[in-house]
Structure formats: structure tokens, C-alpha cells
Amino acid sequence: MAMTTGQGAMWHVSVAAIRKCGADPVRFPANPASDVPSFKSHVWLTSLTRESPNEEQLEQELQSIRQVVQPSGNGAPAVWTPPSPRAAVSALPDQRPGSGVGVTATATTPQVPTPQAESSAGHRSAQGSEQRLKTGPTEARILGNHIVSGEDIDWYFAKYLQHFHHYIPVLRKKDPDECYEANTTLFWLVIYVASRRYCRDRSLFLLLSEHLEKDIWTMISVTALNFDAVHAMLIMCTFPMPTIRFVTDPSPTLAAIALNTALGLGCHTGQGKNAQFLVGLRQHFQATDEEASATWLACCLLAQRTASAIGIPPPSVQYSDTKTKAALESSLWADLIMMHDIQRLLNRFSNAMYTQITAHGGVHEFEVAMWETEFESLKPLISRYDSEIQLGYFMSPPNTPIPSIKTHAVRVFNTARSIIAHSLDLETRTQFLTHAPQWAMRTNIDAACIIISILHSECAPGMSEPDAHVLVQQACGCVLRSSVRDADLAHRASIIMDTFWSIRNIASSLGPCPGSRTDRLTAGVTFWCLNMFRAALKDAQSSTDRVNKALELMQARACPTTQTQPNPAVKPQTGALNSDPIQEVDWSMFMDDFGWVGDDAGILGLP
């Protein structure tokens, strides 16, 4: 693989190399911290290639070139000095090496290094692609008017690999400079994810959020996307922007594009260099079999997970996974394979539920029980939980009596309670909620909605008032711990649920059991609960000054208040989240989430 030119890196020319040079001159930088070519060294090398002097003369002239390129002071060795960011040079063209095709008419080397033979060591095997020897410190980069030092970049990458990479282990360019050369969007995404919790400069986090919301769509607009572009979309789906909404989350769109791109790259065959797929504009794209297989499994599980979260029928991922799993023999991939297997079953479940709903308007009790039985086959892989399947019990066809609904409700309640307890336990031991991916946060929102709605329904289990209050506060606190800034999805959801619970004594019961917006599949239960919480606030308008104030804000469409980042070090409290939780509700953003218009409107976008 041809060595790429790095700023500040010294170039050394051998006698043999000069003898092989043609008439075209080779340009050298005037000094190690600048890309401005030295005219003197240009003339010297041109003279060498034309006159073909003897070897002794060549050696003398080479020594002169070295003195020009790398001057030494008083015989002391030159000290490497960090270069200025490439992006700071305004004259350079806008280069996006990983955002699209990455192959031009003058390109002579592939965008991705040629893979080495896989090492027997598990850690080396998991990295896969060839790693270049680092010749100097990480380069500083510039985004907009913000310069990120090489030291900060190294720190952000280290935090990402330590705390976030294992949730979606697809990043293969772990060296920051290599990652930047492969795909600038992927590079900034890694820094964005790390800065969600470990931000050294708050302004950088805000700048990254604004930049990536637009840049991701520019990246996917090209004809042929490569492996690193797919990885960027997968990371964006796992750790989305803080501005997403319940029903307008772009993650399913990005996951579907990533899935189809991976198909076009032949990832589903378990081969990183499949000549039947990597042709034309893709002929220079390549990866190891391990990287391609991991990419494919990640695409499948996120295509299912993101579609399920917003309640739309997911794309089918029922392809044979024999070859891809065979390439992932290392124990490092055990969690990824387990997640894929679970989502593959839920993919069949979601499609079957949608078929039942379109045919009968709901799902019969025995259908859900059948899927629960099949889910048991995966229990050796996991210890928890089948909440997504159990929510199907609340999606029965209209006017269909279910005598055992209270029994099912108690089972679903216990499952939701276990999810919250398990999440809090993991947070205590491993800071799970602090670094959790989107699907974990969504699952906890579902669990919290189920707990609150069942406790306020006719099928509530026997539980004392103090115990119920503690459980609800734990559930809301569990959701809040996933928040990375005020007014993001987790923060809004926790405040809304806690607000409803604070006025439950003046709100009417939610009925025999929680309902569902069935066209939204199992996500419809959460949407139904949130809509009922809104209706309860509306009904309680004349009963509490706090609710009156909130509803006035809703109708006035008040602007969002200045936001600050939640402190991740604060542990969930068993008491109230706030002394006056309704004052924390940003009602204008909550209305944007669901599109409330007028007194009698429902949730726009839902049936």
C-alpha cells in the first residue's frame, strides 16, 4: 500500500528511488510543519533526474537535499513539531475521502488498506484491517471555527473505544488520523458520541450536533457508499442526535440505507472482498471477512430495532447467517451475535403481528402466547426480557373480551419492573445507563410507561402507595439517566411521566388495562400511554394551578428555555425528580413531538 503524505512527516529519498524517477519532478515540503513546496529542493531533484551523475556525486547532493528539507541546528537532531490542521488551509479543496465513492480518475490506491492475514490472537483478529505505523502525534482538526487539538482527539477516541464501541463494534479505523482519511463524517461522529458524556468543551458538542445533523445526509447522497459510510450510519442510529422526536426519529431511514448498502457490498455473504459485488465504483472497496460479517449483523439488528422503536413494519432480515457467523469465531463477537439472534426472532414477530393487525384489526391472545413460547428457545442466550412480545396482549382486536387480561397485565408489569431494576443495577456497577445506546433508552421508556399506566388502571397489582411511588420514581429516574442534555428524548419523557404521576389522584383511571395504537405495532402501547397522560392533564385543567400553568404554556407555544446539560454523576433518586416537576416541562417541544393542534386533536401521524 502506498504511503500517504502526512503533514510534518520527513521524507527520505534513496539513491535507487532517484534513479527510477522519470522526468516528472517530486516535490518536497520546505519544512516539516508546512505543505508549501520548496523550490530549491524541486530544482535540485529535477537536476538529479536529468544529469544522471555518478553515485558519489548523488550522495553529496542527497546530503544537501536533507539539509534543505530537515535543517539541523548545531548538529542536534531535529524535533518534530505538531502541524497546523489541514482544514485550516483555506486554499485546499474540500475533500471528503469517505463520504462517497472515494475513487476518481486519478486515484491509484484503494480507499481501504489491503487486509493482512488474520492473526490468531482474538484482539488482532477483531481489528482486521492493516494498521499503519504511526509516525507522529495525532493531527489537530478544525470544524467550522473550532480547532480540536490532536491531544483532545486522542482523548475522545479513547473514551469512545472504552465506553461506547462495544455496543456497536463496527469501527475498524481506530487511529484518529486513519479514521479521518477514511471518512470525515465517521471521524466526527466518534468524537460526538464521546462528547455526549465526556465533553471537554461544551461548544464543541453543540457544534458537532448541528454539523452532523446535516452532514450525514450529504454523505449518503453519493452513488456508491463504502464500508466506513455504513459504519457511520450505524453509529448514528445507535447514538442519535439529541434533537430526535418520538415519531420523527430518522434512525429507521438510516438503518434501512445501511442495510441495503451492506447488501450491495456483499456483506451478507460473509466476505469482505466479494468480486461479484465489489465491481464498478465499488471495485476498490474492501474489508476483511470478519469486518464485513460484523457489519452485516449490526445492520440487521439495527434495522429491526429502530423500526420497532417507532412502530413501523421492519425490513426483512431473514437471510442465512451461517457464513457470517462462521467468520465471527472470536469470543469478542458473542454479544453482537446474541443481539442479532434476538432481533431476528423479533423481526419475524413484528411482521407476523402486522399481518394479523391488517387482517383482523388486532392480535389474538393465542398468537402472542405462541410467540412467547418460541422466544423460550433463546432464553439460554439471555436472562431478560421478552417485554416486546408481551405487549402484544394489549393489542387484541376490537370488541374481543379477554378474561385473562389482568393476569397478562401483571406479567407485563413484572417484566417492566425487572427491566428497570436490572438497568439500575447495571448503572450502579458499570454506568450502563450513562453510556446506553438508543434501544436501551427506548426500552426503559416503554417499561416506565407500562408501570405507570398499569398502576393507574383497573388491573393494577396489589402494591402499597409508598411502594408504587418509589417504583415510579425509579422508573422515571432510570429514563432520565440516559439524558445527555435538557430537552432531549429521555429528558422530556421522564418529566412528562413524572408530571402525570404527580396529578394521578385527580386523573380518571386508564380503564381495564393499557391500550394501544395498533397500527404502530408494540410501540403503539407507549404512544397510547403518552397520549393518555396528555389527556389526563387536559382534564385536570381546573383542578390544579400547576396544570393550568402548563396548559397555558401549551396553548401559547412558549419558546424553549435555555438548556443545560444534566449532570451524569447524579444518581436516580427515590423521591420526586423535582419539587415542582410540571415547571420543568418544555411544552412547546412536547407538542412538536406529537403535533397537538386544538383541544380535540390527537397525536398527528398516529391512527
pLDDT digits (tens, 9 = 90+) for 182-232: 999 999 999 999 999 999 998 999 999 999 999 999 999 998 999 999 999
Half-sphere exposure of 440 (CA within 13 A, CB side): 25
Cα(141)–Cα(513) distance, integer angstroms:
55
- Tell me what percent of the residues of the chain surpass a pLDDT of 90: 38
Cα(490)–Cα(239) distance, integer angstroms:
12
pLDDT band at 441 (very low <50, low <70, confident <90, very high): very high
Q: What is the pLDDT of residue 191?
A: 98
- Specify the pTM: 0.68
Residues 454-488 pLDDT 10s: 998 888 888 899 999 999 999 999 999 999 998 88
The cell numbers describing 212, all together, are 452532523
Cα(141)–Cα(192) distance, integer angstroms:
14
The cell numbers describing 512, all together, are 381495564
Grid look-up 551523475 returns 53
> Which three-class secondary structure string do you get for 76-122?
ECCCCCCCCCHHHCCCCCCCCCCCCCCCCCCCCCCCCCCCCCCCCCH
User: Residues in the chain, how many?
Assistant: 607
Q: What is the pLDDT of residue 219?
A: 97
Q: What is the pLDDT of residue 152?
A: 96
Q: Is the pLDDT of residue 57 over 90?
A: no
Cα(403)–Cα(58) distance, integer angstroms:
96
CA-CA distances (angstroms) from residue 438 to 308, 376, 459?
A: 12, 25, 30
The cell numbers describing 42, all together, are 524541486
Q: Is 73 helix (H, G, I), strand (E, B) or coil?
A: strand
Angle formed at CA 83 by CA 82 and CA 85, multiple of 5 degrees: 125
Grid look-up 434533537 returns 243
Cα(422)–Cα(443) distance, integer angstroms:
12
Contacting residues for 126 by C-beta, under 8 A, at least 6 apart: 169, 290, 330, 332, 333
Contacting residues for 591 by C-beta, under 8 A, at least 6 apart: 554, 557
Residues 230-285 pLDDT 10s: 999 999 999 999 998 887 899 999 999 999 999 999 999 999 999 999 998 898 89
Do 511 and 457 contact (CB within 8 A), yes or no? yes
- Rounded to 5 degrees, φ, ψ at 76 are -80, 145
pLDDT band at 134 (very low <50, low <70, confident <90, very high): confident
- Of residues 299 and 7, the one with the higher pLDDT is 299
Total Cβ atoms within 10 A of residue 413: 24
Selection from 315, 285, 287 nearest residue 299 by Cα: 315
pLDDT band at 533 (very low <50, low <70, confident <90, very high): confident
DSSP-derived secondary structure for 445-501: HHHHHHHHHHHTSTT--S--HHHHHHHHHHHHHHHHTT-SSTTSHHHHHHHHHHHHH
Cα(58)–Cα(597) distance, integer angstroms:
82
Cα(286)–Cα(288) distance, integer angstroms:
7
Cα(372)–Cα(525) distance, integer angstroms:
18
Q: What is the pLDDT of residue 542?
A: 55
Do 337 and 326 contact (CB within 8 A), yes or no? no
Do 440 and 423 contact (CB within 8 A), yes or no? yes
Q: What is the pLDDT of residue 421?
A: 94
User: Quick one: CA dihedral 39, 42, 47, 53, positive or negative?
Assistant: positive
Cα(260)–Cα(275) distance, integer angstroms:
18
Highest mean pLDDT among 48-57, 62-71, 298-307, 377-386: 298-307
User: Quick one: CA dihedral 166, 172, 178, 182, positive or negative?
Assistant: negative
Cα(500)–Cα(507) distance, integer angstroms:
9
Cα(430)–Cα(475) distance, integer angstroms:
18
Q: What is the pLDDT of residue 407?
A: 83
Selection from 70, 2, 6 nearest residue 38 by Cα: 70
Q: Is 348 helix (H, G, I), strand (E, B) or coil?
A: helix
Cα(182)–Cα(340) distance, integer angstroms:
27
Do 570 and 483 contact (CB within 8 A), yes or no? no
Q: What is the mean pLDDT of residues 8-33?
A: 37
Total Cβ atoms within 10 A of residue 23: 7
CA-CA distances (angstroms) from residue 32 to 10, 74, 84, 137?
A: 6, 18, 11, 13
Grid look-up 450513562 returns 434
Rg (the chain; Cα; Å): 29
Q: Is the pLDDT of residue 142 over 90?
A: yes
pLDDT mean across residues, the chain: 74
Q: What is the mean pLDDT of residues 532-552?
A: 66
Q: What is the mean pLDDT of residues 509-517?
A: 79
Cα(103)–Cα(203) distance, integer angstroms:
35
- 36 backbone φψ class: left, alpha, beta (φ>0; ψ -120 to 50): beta
Cα(171)–Cα(236) distance, integer angstroms:
12
Selection from 318, 341, 338, 337 nearest residue 328 by Cα: 337
Cα(556)–Cα(552) distance, integer angstroms:
6
**Helix (H) / strand (E) containing 142:** strand 141-143
Buried b (16+ CB within 10 A) or exposed e, 64-93: ebbeebeeeeeeeeeeeebbbbbbeeeeee
71-80, 205-214, 376-385, 425-434: least confidently modelled range:
71-80
- Of residues 577 and 446, the one with the higher pLDDT is 446
Q: Is the pLDDT of residue 291 over 90?
A: yes
Cα(328)–Cα(122) distance, integer angstroms:
10
The cell numbers describing 148, all together, are 480540536
